[in-house]
Amino acid sequence: MTAIRPRTFTRLKRLQISDRAITLTIATILPIGILILWEITTQMGWIKELFLPSLSGIVNEFFVIVSRGYAGHPLAKHVGMSLFRVFTAFFLGSFIGTCLGLLMGHYKYVKAAFYLITELLRPIPPLAFITLFILWFGIGEVSKILIILYAGTLIVMINTIAGVQACPKEKILAAKTLGANDFNVFWLVILPAALPYIFTGMRVALSVDFGILVASELLAGDVGVGFIIQDASTFFNVKALFVGIFTIAFFGVTFDFVLRNISRRIVHWEGK
């Protein structure tokens, strides 16, 4: 038995690596195929550059913006300001949404107090508040961050409430029977049960925050990736427009990957 176990383990490890390689290959075939088709159709002139520039042209435009900047500001400043706005709103929204969701999910009177307000706000798109936020908070960073925060907070809150309600009542009753107070029940029973839902809400909120970024930087902004997209759209600079779109996509995917791995480490009992 001692001689068979290492061989079995090695074989299983090889099968696992092979399966991951096949999965990665399948996952990359379609995107690579689309990019190749994109480049061929634009280089052959089947699609006009005005409607869809070539990938090589977009890459060249990216290096031009990196070297010369855009609208008088280096690309690093545009990216830095956008990330500052997104993550300020994301972390504040995640904190507020998690705390409010935990309280609303566990205490019926807290839910009764906030339920009608949140249900009225939830269907309203953030873009509807742009003019009001300018009137109330001016055209500075506060109004931009609040537009993004509004969208993400409600998402995290709703997912947190769902996580609290998914916690088995038997576990809560068992903890109270063993002498746990409200704080211990919250910390040791409800929060671990809600964590998978909280991280799911945070991931969805992060993607929505990046989506709202473009709209928030409409508020008299002259710096940010969203500003690049809006300004390039105004002047039909389609290559710069795609540079802005791909930049947001890159950072959105990157930070979603980071958040997903953090979730796997913290909520390890949920599996991969």
SS3 71: coil
Residue extents of the structural domains in the chain: 1-47, 55-270
Q: Judge whether 209 and 86 are in contact, CB under 8 Å.
A: yes
Least confident of 91-105, 158-172, 218-232: 218-232
Residue keyed to tokens 């400043």: 77
Residue keyed to tokens 């759209």: 233
Q: How far apart are CA 137 and CA 105, in angstroms?
A: 32
Q: How far apart are CA 43 and CA 58, in angstroms?
A: 12
Look at domain 55-270 and name its CATH class.
mainly alpha
User: What is the predicted pLDDT for the residue at 13?
Assistant: 64
Q: Which residue type is seen at 26?
A: I
| Model pTM score | 0.84
Look at residue 156 and tell me whether its pLDDT is greater than 80. Answer: yes
- 166-220 pLDDT, tens digit each: 888 888 888 888 887 878 888 888 888 899 999 999 999 999 999 888 888 876 6
The token duo for 63 is 């290096």
SS3 235: coil
